[in-house]
A = this chain, B = another copy of it.
Amino acid sequence: MATISYMHDALDHVSDPEKCKRCSVRHQAVCSSLAPAELAVLNKIARKREFKAGQNILIAEEDMPYVATVVSGVIKLIQSLPDGRQQIVGMHFPPDFLGRTYGTKSRCFAEAVSDVDLCLFPKKEFENLLANYPDLETRLFQDTLDELDVARDWMLLLGRKTASEKVASFLAMIARRVPLQGCQHSSEPHQISFHLPMTRADIADYLGLTIETVSRQMTRLKTHEIIRLHDNRDITILNMDRLSELAGLS
């Protein structure tokens, strides 16, 4: 299972001051709200860190002296009950920000779903930057407002949608967020192919279902020729309009 491995083990400095310029998310991540001189300051405190799929990134109730930007890979945020039931309460894709400023402990677990590259910032120094660069704080604030909107959309899904609607909503959401595969300009319009970043168990924990129900709904979508399954992970959405209808977005 998940190897225990904290965010602050085995850090590599971003020693090269030019490194930010070569970063794949430099134009989208929170750091893009900084002026060049400010970015140089951030560059000094930034550290790279890789996580293998399954590794813990944040531990609930434990001190976490870093915040981070997701450079590559996918991360899940997990809330859990004492008896082991768990619920995924957020997914982080590049170039999302990860971690909670103002307050030292995380309230959820965060685990790498795939191999992950993070760009870490010591929390204390990062908060100093926030105090000095209002644009950075505004940007982070806006990102948090967006996260709250996403969380509330998901609450509607968890509380009121059927299993069928949940799975359809999930696929529609993933299609919008993960990098797509293959030629998207085929003769068939609305066909979208992508690689699912997570297992059926993760999907179940994300949707408040069991893995069996997720599996059944997937085969149902396959039977109705709304999706095609190549590899359990590689999916083509054959009819995006129909999928959106099923998701309750019509």
Contacts and interface: CB of A to CB of B under 8 A. Distances in A.
A80 B248 CA distance: 10
A154 B156 contact: no
A15 interface: no
A156 B89 contact: yes
Contact of A141 (B82, B86, B140, B153): B140
Interface string A123-155: 000000011001001101110110111011111
A130 B250 CA distance: 37
Contacts of A153: 79, 107
A246 interface: no
Contacts of A80: 156
Nearest to A90: B152
A131 B80 CA distance: 38
B160 A151 contact: no
A148 B149 contact: no
Interface string A232-250: 0000000000000000101
B142 A89 contact: no
A156 B102 contact: no
B81 A159 contact: no
Interface in A150-171: 151-156, 158-161
Given A138-B137, A151-B151, A87 B156 contact: yes
Given A137-B141, A144-B144, A81 B152 contact: no
29 contacts: A79-B152, A79-B153, A79-B155, A79-B156, A81-B161, A86-B156, A87-B155, A87-B159, A89-B152, A90-B152, A100-B145, A102-B138, A102-B142, A107-B149, A130-B138, A131-B138, A134-B134, A137-B141, A141-B141, A144-B144, A144-B145, A148-B151, A151-B152, A151-B155, A158-B158, A158-B208, A159-B207, A159-B208, A160-B208
Given A81-B160, A81-B248, A144-B148, 10 more contacts: A77-B152, A79-B153, A79-B156, A80-B156, A81-B156, A81-B161, A82-B250, A87-B159, A151-B152, A158-B159
Interface of A: 77, 79-83, 85-87, 89-90, 100-103, 107-108, 130-131, 134, 137-138, 140-142, 144-145, 147-149, 151-156, 158-161, 207-208, 248, 250
